[in-house]
A and B are shown apart, each in its own frame.
Chain A
Amino acid sequence: MERIQVLVCAGTGCTIGNSGELIEAFQAEIKSLGLEKEISVLRTGCLGLCGVGPNVSIYPDNIIYKSVKVEDVKEIVMEHFYKGRPVHRLMLNESDESTNEIHDINNTNFYKKQKRIALHNCGVIDPENIQEYIAKDGYFALAKALTEMTPQEVVDVIKESGLRGRGGGGFPTGLKWQFALNEPGDEKYVICNADEGDPGAFMDRSILEGNPHSVIEAMAIAGYAIGAKYGYIYIRAEYPIAVERLKNAISQAKELGLLGQNIFGTEFSFDLEIRLGAGAFVCGEETALIQSIEGERGMPKPKPPFPAHKGVWGKPTIINNVETYANIAQIIMHGSDWFRSIGTESSPGTKVFALGGKIVNTGLVEVPMGTTLREVIYEIGGGCPNRKRFKAVQTGGPSGGCLTEKQLDTPIGFDELVKLGSMMGSGGMIVLDEDNCMVDVARFYMDFIVDESCGKCSPCRIGTKRMLELLIDICEGRGTMETLDELELLAKTIQDTALCGLGQSAPNPVLSTISQFRDEYIAHIVDKKCPAGVCKALLSYEIDEEKCRKCGLCARQCPANAIDGTLGKVPYHIDQEKCIKCGNCLKACHFNVITRK
């Protein structure tokens, strides 16, 4: 009889951290002690703390071990599983050293304020085993919808729940479904948008890796609600683990008859297909995504017609994001009132955020809407590492903007973030500290947009390229105050004239950094200085020759041979013409006589 279950995270982050070998090591070690009948080792989805992976979760103790290496396996098995002494040094749980008391994992700062709805099975079940999903009431929402509810009733529950699209725009999901339901005809489609492209966002990937059936079940429910028999999951090929788990999940669901003909003995039939995207950011835009599914080049089309009216193959189609679908089964099971009781009036429910950048707890968090940014960044995320000062948080990726210290007490919600000049986006949250240059950040996002612009409309194709050139001018010290005006004018013109959401929102990072950090732009333009010390063209390194100890360490580290001097005799000196501003000399100097200006 099993008494312990060991769940090893097999998400992308922890797999890179070698969790595959960990599983084998656990199995081998457990076998060598003859405990294989008492302890089972399973793979599971994301536990959230990707920064300290691989993570291993132990039941029934409910202990999570972090940063587990193959070398640690022996100790965990011997001490914890054999002798009952959990290994404190690897534990994520906080524990009392004097009494050895281990605190509940849900009381740790990281988990305390979280509420997992979209991520609810991630890290608890084996995503490759449909039975485990069913054990956690999986597919019961589909059964309920098919056997107890009419399509209109399903749409009504979703409408009443107030669920808004988690992919970025926040359009009411129920309304979208209603439009598609109202369309005549019996050929309709359901699409799942898993083309997650924002730099730093990985919540959709984690849901698909950790709980793929929740998306499949929700798509079947959506199919029933609008009268569609077929669905597509459009996912990027760069997500090999997620694709593999989805394929496996679809075939298991078909085997059990949860997809296919006459599901639960009703008239309803539904089938699904995976379409792989080649990783173009623009294909996350719904009309471009539809083009790509149809085998055309992924380029947006003007709206209207909206997909609910004329979507894939010219038929009524609904497109929802992965995280949106991950909420559906729960809403059907627990009702719209339950969902509305979480979050805020205008944004009910929770939102998953991918915390990244200069933050202690890099990873995935899910919090009720209305939680403040400060709570997410400081309490859950643990603030900036190395005692650096927080500068800004970038939300919404290349379509969003930056929020500063002053705005951290804003409750998170779709409308609240837009009001501040940023947006929810898909949920990337990148924390920037005093070492990040805001002009450089704007340049980074514009560079990304220039790469990803599909080129169909000229405001986006040419306009963003010109914006990037102006930003590079500022970063390299050629900017003038006119450059700044030009940048703003160009930004506003692109917002007004670009064809699709990608182009219309592309200037947001620039406009938001200009409005929040104008001083920093001016420092680059007028003083020709980069206050954060990032823009290399505006930096110079100098050695204080009076204080120089003539040790020559700096000269030895210089890759450009730009430092002259004689060991023990002549103080060293940097030739500014040759210097490539790598900063090696600054790091090499033991006596702090080199300064960066």
Chain B
Amino acid sequence: MKSLEDLKKIREEAQNRMTMRLDDEQKYRVVVGMATCGIAAGARPVLNTIVEEVAKEKLPVTVLQTGCIGLYTLEPIVEVFDKEGNKTTYVLVDVEKAKEIVRRHLIQGEVIEDYTVGKYKK
């Protein structure tokens, strides 16, 4: 170890591999419905896309999966919770929509009304 810079470089690389275990405050919590209905409708690539995009952009976002949300016909369903607990429910999400949700909602903070289940729930 020759300098502090070397150590910082190691820290940054290592942190990329364990973001989910760091204590940083998370801005959003994204939950993807991954029961049989969700998986059948294509939730798996959606989940993986969100995980990848969040990691790529190093966003302070926790990506979780959950069981059946209850609206089979509208799967894949992606729910976004902000720090205050406000929930936005996106329905019929595909890989492209997922990328857009990451870009517009998680980065820019804009709720994409067109993709939501129809009402903004508080």
Contacts and interface: CB of A to CB of B under 8 A. Distances in A.
Interface of A: 1-3, 5, 38, 59-61, 82-85, 100, 124-125, 131-132, 134-137, 139-140, 143, 147, 256-258, 263-265
A256 B34 contact: no
Given A135-B22, A256-B1, A257-B1, A60 B64 contact: yes
B48 to A, nearest CB: 7
A84 B48 contact: no
B18 to A, nearest CB: 6
B47 A3 contact: yes
B48 A1 contact: yes
13 contacts: A3-B65, A5-B21, A60-B63, A60-B64, A61-B64, A84-B38, A132-B14, A134-B10, A134-B11, A135-B11, A135-B15, A136-B22, A143-B4
Output the residue of B7, B35, B39, B55 with the most chain A CB within 10 A: B7
Contacts of A84: 32-35, 38, 64-67
B20 A143 contact: no
Given A2-B51, A131-B10, A134-B11, 10 more contacts: A1-B55, A3-B47, A3-B63, A5-B20, A60-B64, A84-B35, A84-B65, A125-B21, A135-B14, A256-B1
A82 B34 contact: yes
A85 B66 contact: yes
A592 to B, nearest CB: 50
Nearest to B11: A134
Interface string B36-75: 1011000000011001100100000011111100000000
A82 B22 CA distance: 24
A3 B55 CA distance: 9
Contact of B35 (A5, A83, A147): A83
Range for the number of chain B residues in contact with chain A? 20 to 34
Grouping DSSP codes into helix (H, G, I), strand (E, B) and loop, the B interface class, with mixed when no group exceeds half, is helix
Contacts of A132: 14, 18
B62 A83 contact: no
A131 B2 CA distance: 16
B34 A83 contact: yes
B108 interface: no
A136 B15 CA distance: 8
Interface in B69-106: none
Nearest to A37: B48
Output the residue of A60, A125, A132, A140 with the most chain B CB within 10 A: A60
Contacts of A147: 4
Interface of B: 1-4, 7, 10-11, 13-15, 17-18, 20-22, 32-36, 38-39, 47-48, 51-52, 55, 62-67
A257 B64 contact: no
A560 B41 CA distance: 71
A32 B34 CA distance: 18
B18 A256 contact: no
Contacts of A125: 18, 21
Contacts of B32: 84
Contacts of B20: 5, 59-60
A264 B2 contact: yes
A257 B2 contact: yes
A1 B10 contact: no
A264 B21 contact: no
B34 to A, nearest CB: 4
Contacts of B55: 1
A223 to B, nearest CB: 15
A486 B113 CA distance: 86
Contact of B48 (A5, A38, A139, A264): A38
A504 to B, nearest CB: 43
A342 B55 CA distance: 35
Contacts of A83: 34-36, 39, 65, 67
Given A84-B33, A84-B35, A85-B67, A134 B7 contact: yes
Nearest to B50: A3
A125 B21 CA distance: 8
B2 A1 contact: no
B62 to A, nearest CB: 5
A211 to B, nearest CB: 14
Contact of A258 (B1, B34, B39, B51): B1
Contacts of B2: 257, 264-265
Contact of B52 (A1, A60, A143): A1
Contacts of A256: 1, 10
Contact of A131 (B3, B4, B13, B48): B13
A519 to B, nearest CB: 51
Nearest to B39: A83
A60 B22 CA distance: 10
A140 B8 CA distance: 9
Nearest to B15: A135
B9 to A, nearest CB: 10
Nearest to B55: A1
A177 to B, nearest CB: 24
B46 to A, nearest CB: 12
Contacts of B17: 2, 131, 135
Contacts of B63: 3, 60
A61 to B, nearest CB: 6
A266 to B, nearest CB: 10
B62 A60 contact: yes
A265 to B, nearest CB: 5
A134 to B, nearest CB: 5
A124 B21 CA distance: 7
Contacts of A135: 11, 14-15, 17-18, 22
- Going nearest first, the 3 A-B pairs with the smallest beta carbon separation are A84-B65, A84-B34, A135-B14
Nearest to B34: A84
B76 to A, nearest CB: 12
Nearest to B38: A84
B18 A140 contact: no
A277 B7 CA distance: 34
